[in-house]
C-alpha cells in the first residue's frame, strides 16, 4: 500500500538530523546556517560619526540665517579632529568621527558656503544627523542566534565585526547514482535504444542549488555486481540519491541491493503522481532516496522530498519551504486517492497569484517542466478542481 504524501515527508524529516558545525570562510557561508550564537564584540558604530556630508556645529549656533566661520575639515577616515569653537563650523564628511564641541551636523544641502564662511538655511536641533556609538548594535548583544540563515545582511553584519571565518553547519555530501543499461554518458552519442544520462545532471544541479555538495557516481548497470559496487560507494555519503530501477520491472534492482547492503527501508510507493515508486531508507546516518527514472518524476520528487531533507541537514528552518496560495486558471480533473503535482505557470494578476497548467502533464514530457515556474499540489481526496479554486503551489523560482 502506498503511503500518503505528508506521511512520506514527515518520515523523511524525522530521519534527517542536523549535520555537525564546521568553520567556513565568510563568503562560503552564504545560504548556510549559523551553528553557534554570535555576540557583538564591540559597539556598532564604534564611535559617534556624521550621517551626512555637512558641517559640525554647536547647538547654540544652529539657527537659520546664522553665519559661521569654517575652521577645519574632517574627511571620512580622518583621525585629526579639530574642535568646534563657538561661532565656527568644521566641514565633515559622512562617516567621519564627530569632533569635540560638535552637537549636531548641518547637511551641506541646508547651507550656503562662500569665502571660508557658511550660512545656515534652516534651524537644526541638538543630535541631528549624528550616528551615535552603539546605536545600531551594543557590544555584547546576541545579534545572531544559532540557527540563523546567513543572507547578505547577516554577512554584512559579520563582516562589520571583522569575522572572516564563521561556524556553520556542514554541507551534506550527496552521492548521486543513475541506473540502467540504456544510459550513456554526456559526450557520447546515444546508439540504438540508448539515452543520455540526464538525471545525474538535473540531480547534481538541484543538490548544488539546495546547498549540498554533489558527488557523481556515474551509472550502475542492470546487474547485481554493478549495483552492489556503486551503491556501496554511495552509502559512504550523508545522502545517496539514485534514479530509476525502483519500479516493479525484472531489472529494477535498487531496493533489493540496498536491503542486502543493510539499508532499512522506511517506505516504498507514495500516493502521488508523478513519483509513485519513490522509496526511502536509512543506513546509519545516511539517508537513501530511490527516485523514479522519468526525468520529470526525478525532478519533482527531488523538490518534494529530497530538498526538505537537505535543508534540515543544514539546519535550515522551516525545512519545507512555505507554499503559496494560487487560484487555478482552468478546471482540472485528476484521479482521486493520490496527490497530483501539476506543473504550472504562476503569474500575478491584480495582486493575486493565478496558476495555469504549463501543458501536457505526462511524466515523459520535460518541456512542460521547463515551462513551469511552480508545482501545484492537488490534494488526494478530490478528483475535480473548478477554475478559480485555491491550491497550494510550490514556487520554483
Binding site for Mg ion (CB under 5 A): 180, 244-245
Half-sphere exposure of 138 (CA within 13 A, CB side): 1
In the complex, minimum distance from the CB of residue 195 to ligand AMP, in angstroms, rounded to a whole number: 5
Q: Which three cell numbers stand for residue 348?
A: 500575478
Query: Of 201 and 267, which has the nearer Cβ to ligand AMP?
Result: 201
In the complex, minimum distance from the CB of residue 264 to ligand AMP, in angstroms, rounded to a whole number: 22
Q: Which does 295 bind (CB under 5 to 8 A by kind): ligand AMP, Mg ion, none?
A: ligand AMP
In the complex, minimum distance from the CB of residue 246 to ligand AMP, in angstroms, rounded to a whole number: 6
In the complex, minimum distance from the CB of residue 186 to ligand AMP, in angstroms, rounded to a whole number: 11
Which position's Cβ is nearest ligand AMP? 293
What count of residues does the chain have? 397
Residue 50 near residue 94, CB atoms below 8 Å: yes
Q: Give alpha helix (H) positions in the chain.
A: 5-15, 152-160, 199-209, 224-234, 254-260, 295-301, 307-313, 367-370
Query: Of 53 and 182, which has the nearer Cβ to ligand AMP?
Result: 182
Q: Which residues are registered as beta bridge partners of 376? A: 342, 393
Query: Of 85 and 366, which has the nearer Cβ to ligand AMP?
Result: 366
Q: Which does 275 bind (CB under 5 to 8 A by kind): ligand AMP, Mg ion, none?
A: none
In the complex, minimum distance from the CB of residue 342 to ligand AMP, in angstroms, rounded to a whole number: 20
Tell me: cis bond preceding 212? Omega within 30 of 0 counts: no
The CA R_g of the chain, rounded to the nearest whole Å, is: 30
In the complex, minimum distance from the CB of residue 179 to Mg ion, in angstroms, rounded to a whole number: 6
Q: Which does 202 bind (CB under 5 to 8 A by kind): Mg ion, ligand AMP, none?
A: none
Q: Which does 247 bind (CB under 5 to 8 A by kind): ligand AMP, Mg ion, none?
A: ligand AMP
In the complex, minimum distance from the CB of residue 219 to ligand AMP, in angstroms, rounded to a whole number: 7
Distance from C-alpha of 119 to C-alpha of 94, rounded to nearest angstrom: 20
Query: Site residues (CB under 6 A) for ligand AMP?
Result: 178, 180, 182-183, 195, 197-200, 243-245, 247, 249, 292-295
Q: Which does 294 bind (CB under 5 to 8 A by kind): ligand AMP, Mg ion, none?
A: ligand AMP
Name the 3-class secondary structure at 266. Answer: strand
Q: Which three cell numbers stand for residue 283?
A: 543506513
Query: Of 148 and 297, which has the nearer Cβ to Mg ion?
Result: 297
Query: Of 12 and 200, which has the nearer Cβ to Mg ion?
Result: 200
In the complex, minimum distance from the CB of residue 144 to ligand AMP, in angstroms, rounded to a whole number: 41
In the complex, minimum distance from the CB of residue 346 to Mg ion, in angstroms, rounded to a whole number: 33
Query: Of 180 and 275, which has the nearer Cβ to Mg ion?
Result: 180
Residue 279 near residue 301, CB atoms below 8 Å: no
Q: Which does 198 bind (CB under 5 to 8 A by kind): Mg ion, ligand AMP, none?
A: ligand AMP
Residues 6+ apart with CB under 8 A from 93: 50, 53, 74, 75, 76, 78
Q: CA 176: distance to chain centroid?
A: 21
Which position's Cβ is nearest Mg ion? 180
Query: Of 15 and 183, which has the nearer Cβ to ligand AMP?
Result: 183
> Residue 235 burial by CB count (10 A; 0-12/13-18/19+): exposed, middle or buried?
middle
Residue 166 near residue 24, CB atoms below 8 Å: yes
Name the 3-class secondary structure at 37. Answer: coil
What per-residue string of b and e applies to 318-329 under the rule 16 or more CB within 10 Å gives b? ebbeeeeebbbb
Q: Which residues are registered as beta bridge partners of 279? A: 268, 290
Query: Of 179 and 357, which has the nearer Cβ to ligand AMP?
Result: 179
Query: Of 30 and 366, which has the nearer Cβ to ligand AMP?
Result: 366
Q: Which does 8 bind (CB under 5 to 8 A by kind): ligand AMP, Mg ion, none?
A: none
Amino acid at each position: 500500500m502506498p503511503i500518503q504524501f505528508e506521511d512520506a515527508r514527515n518520515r523523511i524529516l524525522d530521519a534527517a538530523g542536523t549535520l555537525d558545525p564546521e568553520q567556513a570562510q565568510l563568503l562560503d557561508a552564504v545560504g548556510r546556517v549559523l551553528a553557534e550564537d554570535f555576540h557583538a564584540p564591540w559597539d556598532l558604530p564604534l564611535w559617534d560619526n556624521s550621517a551626512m556630508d555637512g558641517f559640525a556645529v554647536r547647538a547654540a549656533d544652529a539657527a537659520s540665517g546664522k553665519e559661521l566661520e569654517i575652521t577645519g575639515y574632517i574627511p571620512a577616515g580622518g583621525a585629526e579632529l579639530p574642535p568646534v569653537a563657538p561661532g565656527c563650523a568644521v566641514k565633515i564628511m559622512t562617516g567621519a568621527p564627530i569632533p569635540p564641541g560638535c552637537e549636531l551636523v548641518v547637511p551641506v544641502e541646508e547651507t550656503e558656503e562662500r569665502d571660508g564662511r557658511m550660512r545656515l538655511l534652516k534651524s537644526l536641533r541638538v543630535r541631528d544627523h549624528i550616528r551615535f556609538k552603539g546605536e545600531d548594535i551594543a557590544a555584547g548583544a546576541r545579534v545572531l542566534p544559532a540557527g540563523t540563515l546567513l543572507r547578505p545582511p547577516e554577512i554584512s553584519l559579520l563582516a562589520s565585526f571583522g569575522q572572516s571565518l564563521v561556524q556553520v553547519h556542514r554541507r551534506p555530501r550527496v552521492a548521486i547514482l543513475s541506473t540502467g543499461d540504456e544510459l550513456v554518458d554526456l559526450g557520447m552519442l546515444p546508439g540504438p535504444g540508448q539515452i543520455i544520462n540526464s538525471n545525474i545532471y538535473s540531480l547534481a544541479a538541484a543538490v548544488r542549488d539546495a546547498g549540498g555538495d554533489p558527488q557523481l557516481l556515474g551509472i550502475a548497470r542492470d546487474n547485481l555486481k554493478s549495483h552492489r559496487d556503486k551503491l556501496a560507494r554511495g552509502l559512504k555519503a550523508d545522502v545517496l540519491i539514485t534514479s530509476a530501477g525502483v519500479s516493479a520491472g525484472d531489472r529494477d534492482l535498487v531496493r533489493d541491493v540496498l536491503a542486502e547492503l543493510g539499508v532499512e527501508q522506511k517506505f516504498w510507493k507514495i500516493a502521488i503522481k508523478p513519483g509513485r515508486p519513490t522509496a526511502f531508507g536509512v543506513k546509519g546516518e545516511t539517508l537513501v532516496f530511490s527516485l523514479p527514472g522519468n526525468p520529470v518524476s526525478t525532478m519533482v520528487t527531488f523538490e518534494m522530498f529530497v530538498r526538505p531533507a537537505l535543508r534540515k541537514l543544514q539546519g535550515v528552518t522551516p525545512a519545507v519551504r512555505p507554499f503559496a496560495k494560487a487560484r487555478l486558471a482552468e478546471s482540472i480533473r485528476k484521479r482521486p486517492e493520490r496527490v497530483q503535482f501539476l506543473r504550472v505557470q504562476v503569474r500575478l494578476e491584480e495582486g493575486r497569484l493565478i496558476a495555469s497548467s504549463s501543458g501536457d502533464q505526462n511524466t515523459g514530457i520535460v518541456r512542460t517542466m521547463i515551462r513551469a515556474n511552480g508545482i501545484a499540489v492537488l490534494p488526494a481526496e478530490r478528483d475535480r478542481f473548478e477554475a478559480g479554486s485555491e491550491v497550494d503551489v510550490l514556487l520554483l523560482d
